Chain A
């Protein structure tokens, strides 16, 4: 019974949102994330176990193909046909039918845009008066559960996240916004795509994962000595692993992004 009311409520919510602000369901809303802290799987020597994060604004959902299409429509430098090999590899937007045709057989217009390089993601966010979130901001926002601040304390949260990482990529990438929002009101942090972050290569796992955090750590790790704070946080290991395998010009089939902004001075009204 409770479930039915919940669904009804959600339906009314969605319909109202559609009428009042058609943009909010397509993920353009910015969510205010309060200051707080999270436990990082990797950290620099001397860093506290709990990483403090200032308050910031973050897109509720990842950037979609449709939204990215509007960006390249306005800025032809970022069209596929104008690709600069230094700024994006040859898979850049390769899932689109054409330069200005964001459709394709393996995604929807509302699916998160993938096959975009870090440079392109940075430029997109800048054009919207925003920026990419930092590792700490992203990890902090992603650590929230559905009903509580710390997802790790929520029954089934870790297993759910882990299971997504274990599954092969689906043949058709689903649209954004189909899963429940987390405690902060943010959706699709887990279960849809990987996401670029601003400082993705500031903490490098070497690829020789068994040496990281060991005696040889200085040898491989770009940001100086790092070590693991929580050896059981497998999803975080995977994210750090993926980030370390990337270069800024790389594009990947299931790697997209969302934007963030500072609370002050961003020029963005958080209620937009």
Chain B
């Protein structure tokens, strides 16, 4: 009899063990997080129990060259990572507030149906973790953000990202997916003012943004950090707008969106779109096929934000030219409405769009010099004695750089004496914009033994204006 009991106990034990193992096997699937511009992997699985771990962290980082900012973040970056789940997933969400945080934080996921989108359930003190669960009822591309008081400041400091709830079976396959979030920043100093810039509550309330950026900083996705695609590939962008204030007129220079899922819904509801409006706290999915090589430029077409506040990102497309789709420049001939002699060298240049570092300005100046000046003044600025005056260690140049700027603007005719040598020749006026003139003079006055401070584009503009008024 005792033996019988023992067996029952043993059997119960074994059953319990198996049951336990069964519970363990049902551990929720850990959702991988991807950091912009990486959009992570498309999902093919069916809905189930999943777990998301997201950390809030306060970090000091780069807002622009020479400009730092105290960011409050999800996952240590702005924007926070993109979270990809499947419609119908039951999500166990863990919000971990890093012990070094000063602030309590929480999260409002627009993908959540319920009070505060999770905000009410996730207020978390530094060094603590909050857990809540939700079911992803509706597919779509949603913003998440911190909603702790004062909510505007938590968002203004960088606390937002996107959560993509994919429809079961996924979105139609494409060759490339990228993750981009636009947002605006409000700093005590003006755009480009160097140093650690504190948050300006006044400007934020007035909605006067100093910075409008893609992926958290000026130039986060340009140059070497640009994303890449190949001619013929299809590209999908998951675009969010973290705000806190501005609505984006999102546009890609040199592309037409084949498909737009407006406002981040799951219906591809518009074709052949040039610019799509993305509300603060909203999103959009855009798709296009890249047809020709070159650099596509993402902008907020509220265009001063691109030109003056940093709202620029790039996709570099590599591959074969297709001259039927786009020829490039086929001819460049002189157009003279009134006839007459050529007054100017017709080399127009585009204004530089991103703020440049000291070194970038010098290298740009060097390129401009080699294109526009070196033919006469020579590669090393040595000139040709008696014909073209030298710029290297040139007394005439260095004693008055503002005069030199004036010469680049208007040209020069007549006799001058440089380093004791007489020159009597004609230099044509150069069709360069203010920042290019500032950079080329910057290069000339800091090369070949010369040394001077760099002039700024506005200073060149002032000189240009004073020349006009004479």
Contact = CB atoms under 8 A, between A and B. Distances in A.
Nearest to B122: A207
Interface in A146-177: 158-159, 162-163, 165-169
Interface stretch (B143-151, B313-321, B390-398, B400-408): B143-151
Interface residues of A, number: 37
Given A168-B60, A207-B120, A207-B123, A238 B201 contact: no
Contacts of B205: 232
Q: Which secondary structure dominates chain B's binding surface?
A: loop
B458 interface: no
Contacts of B150: 209, 234, 237-238
A205 B149 contact: yes
Contacts of B127: 91, 251-253
A94 to B, nearest CB: 9
A241 B102 contact: no
Interface string B47-63: 00000000000111000
B174 to A, nearest CB: 36
B199 A166 contact: yes
Contact of A208 (B102, B116, B124, B157): B116
Nearest to A171: B100
Interface in A196-241: 205-212, 219-220, 232, 234, 237-238, 240-241
Interface string B110-123: 00000110011111
A122 to B, nearest CB: 18
Interface stretch (A60-68, A125-133, A242-250): A242-250
B70 A207 contact: no
Interface string A47-63: 00000000000000000
Given A168-B59, A168-B70, A253-B126, A207 B102 contact: no
A119 B201 CA distance: 36
A265 B26 CA distance: 62
Interface in A82-107: 91
Given A234-B150, A237-B149, A165 B103 contact: yes
A242 B150 CA distance: 11
B153 interface: yes
A245 B103 CA distance: 10
B195 interface: no
A257 to B, nearest CB: 15
B149 A167 contact: no
A158 B123 CA distance: 25
A36 B151 CA distance: 31
A245 B104 contact: yes
Contacts of B151: 209-210
Contacts of A251: 127
A254 interface: yes
B149 A252 contact: no
Nearest to B156: A166
Contacts of B7: none
Q: Which of A162, A208, A234, A255 is most buried by chain B, counting CB atoms within 10 A of its CB?
A: A208
A168 to B, nearest CB: 4
A234 B202 CA distance: 11
Contacts of B147: 207-210
Given A207-B147, A212-B149, A241-B149, A169 B116 contact: no
A242 B149 CA distance: 9
B386 interface: no
Nearest to A164: B102
A219 B149 CA distance: 17
13 contacts: A91-B127, A166-B70, A168-B102, A206-B116, A207-B147, A234-B150, A237-B150, A241-B148, A241-B149, A250-B128, A252-B128, A253-B100, A254-B102
Given A167-B58, A167-B102, A208-B119, 9 more contacts: A91-B127, A159-B188, A163-B199, A166-B157, A169-B102, A194-B102, A237-B149, A241-B149, A251-B127
